[in-house]
Amino acid sequence: MPSSEHDILNGFFRDKPQLAVELLRNQLDVELPWDIPAYVTANDFNDRPSKDEQADTVILLGPMHDTRRGIIVEIQRDPNDDKRKKFARYAAALWLRLDCPVTTLVICPDRKVAASMGVPYVTELDAYTSSPYVLGPDQIPVLTNPAEVKARPELAAMSVMAHGDLRPVREAFIEGLKDMESDNGAWCYNYAYKLASPTAQDPLEALMNANSDSLPFSPTFLRQRELGREEGREEGREEGKAAGEAKALLTVLKARGVAVPEPVLARITACGDPEQLNAWVGRAGTATRIEDVFGEDD
């Protein structure tokens, strides 16, 4: 059964097929055009009369009715000679379907696996040897520029996966998150943390929490918010959801050291609109003064 690491990496290419083109061009020196569309297509390779096979992701380059190249993307975490044979079959099947060049890109988070997958596979078909392009940790760029992290979040997460043990990589990653929209930053951090090695996860989370004042989706902020909501639920179930949100807001403000004057406290506790209170909780995550929480229209 595919691991979460496999699903995350595969999802990067399904959500952004141009990423495969970028990696092949920039990291593996494959000559591919930039100025044609890339899109995901069906990944079924029927092998009659035997069972059907499915590649992880299949990407086509070119207009819908004028395909210029096919790219097969595979995520491989373990050495497996059977998979090397399947890669050869996938490439042959896609070539027969498209009648155009086909490239196989194998993503290997482990160096030893990358080395084993990069060995050409000689098939039983005369003169057909499968030679996939393999992207291992040594081919994944070391991103130490926060601007690159913001511009290339999928690649940034892969850089943390391969090089997260390096402090400059972790620091650049956290700095880059600060300039992202909260939703984008949240998924990027979540995926990078899951892809990171066990030895990189703790220092990555510690660095994230140390910057929680500017990262409202950090584990510390989320725990504070949930603690406040739980306390609110326990103390004010009869008052409903608004009481929980009000308690969460006050908990976050206290944790951030923001003073709450009496008139503001009365306004918060008197508010019966859970959505409005939730919006204030979100602003409190980066607030340094009470004025940062309440907008002019509130």
Amino acid identity of residue 274, one-letter, is P
* Residue 236 clears pLDDT 60, i.e. is over it: no
* Residues with Cβ within 8 Å of residue 50, at least 6 apart in sequence: none
Instruction: List Cβ<8 Å contacts ≥24 apart for 31-39.
Output: 32/61, 32/69, 32/103, 33/61, 33/68, 36/61, 36/62, 36/63, 36/68, 37/61, 37/62, 37/63, 38/71, 39/64
Q: Which of 218, 219, 286 is nearest to 256 (CA)?
A: 286
Q: Which of 47, 46, 36 is nearest to 71 (CA)?
A: 36
Residue 79's pLDDT band, with cuts at 50, 70 and 90, is: confident
> Model-level pTM?
0.70
Tell me the torsion sign for CA atoms 87, 90, 95, 96: positive
CA distances for 85 relative to 80, 121, 246, angstroms: 9, 7, 59
- What is the rounded distance in angstroms from the CA atom of residue 44 to the CA atom of residue 178? 40
198-209 burial code (b ≥16 CB/10 A, e <16): eebbeebbebbe
Task: State the average pLDDT over residues 67-93.
Answer: 91
* Spatial contact of 195 and 204, defined as CB atoms under 8 Å apart: no
Task: Cite the DSSP H helix spans in 196-295.
Answer: 198-210, 219-235, 241-255, 262-270, 274-284
pLDDT digits (tens, 9 = 90+) for 128-175: 999 999 999 999 999 999 999 999 999 999 999 999 999 999 999 999
pLDDT digits (tens, 9 = 90+) for 12-33: 998 999 999 999 999 999 988 8
End-to-end alpha carbon distance in the chain: 49
Beta bridge partners of 73: 57, 105
CB atoms within 10 A of CB 154: 20
Which of 212-216, 218-222, 236-240 ranks highest by mean pLDDT? 212-216
pLDDT digits (tens, 9 = 90+) for 240-276: 677 778 888 888 888 777 888 888 888 888 888 888 8
Residue 41's pLDDT band, with cuts at 50, 70 and 90, is: confident
The domain spans of the chain are: 4-135, 146-210, 219-292
Which one has a higher pLDDT value, 169 or 221?
Answer: 169
